[in-house]
Amino acid sequence: MSARTKARKRALDMLYQADLREVPIATIVNAEAQRASSEPDRAASWLYAREIVDGVTDHRDRIDELIMSYAQGWTLERMPHVDRALLRLASWEILFNDEVPAAVAIDEAVELAKEYSTDDSGRFVNGVLGKIADHASA
């Protein structure tokens, strides 16, 4: 598993925890930073996970606006917590990280949705992110 895939899992975990527990993301990030400091072999995945979480936090309004406009029939509140976190994570990669091709961001998010969310989540995440990628390339 690549360092970026591990980082996405860490970022997903942080975004999910903050959302589910309704605590500030900074609280979760600080706890993860302490844990990461004792795991020097995971430094690369920690740095990218932190970049994702910071990016989602910095651009959350724009990201959520796009998710809501392309998730037809779904509000953010109605989505499973994992799906919401994955959509935010991958949307940040698609919109704001030029180093990651949109197709890679989508594929990684779909795989994580299949692994950690509902049976229908992979298709849902793929559809919404595909529309966001089309929007980004327009």
Indicate the domain borders of the chain: 3-137
pTM for the complete prediction?
0.94
Digit-coded pLDDT (tens) for 30-56: 998 888 888 777 777 888 999 999 999
- Cα 86 to Cα 92: distance, rounded to the nearest angstrom: 10
CATH of 3-137, one of 3.40.50.620, 1.10.3720.10, 1.10.390.10, 1.10.940.10: 1.10.940.10
Digit-coded pLDDT (tens) for 83-107: 999 999 999 999 999 999 999 999 9
Whether the per-residue pLDDT at 116 is higher than 80: the answer is yes
Cβ contact 8:97 at 8 Å: no
DSSP 22-36: T--HHHHHHHHHHHH
Tally the residues of the chain.
138
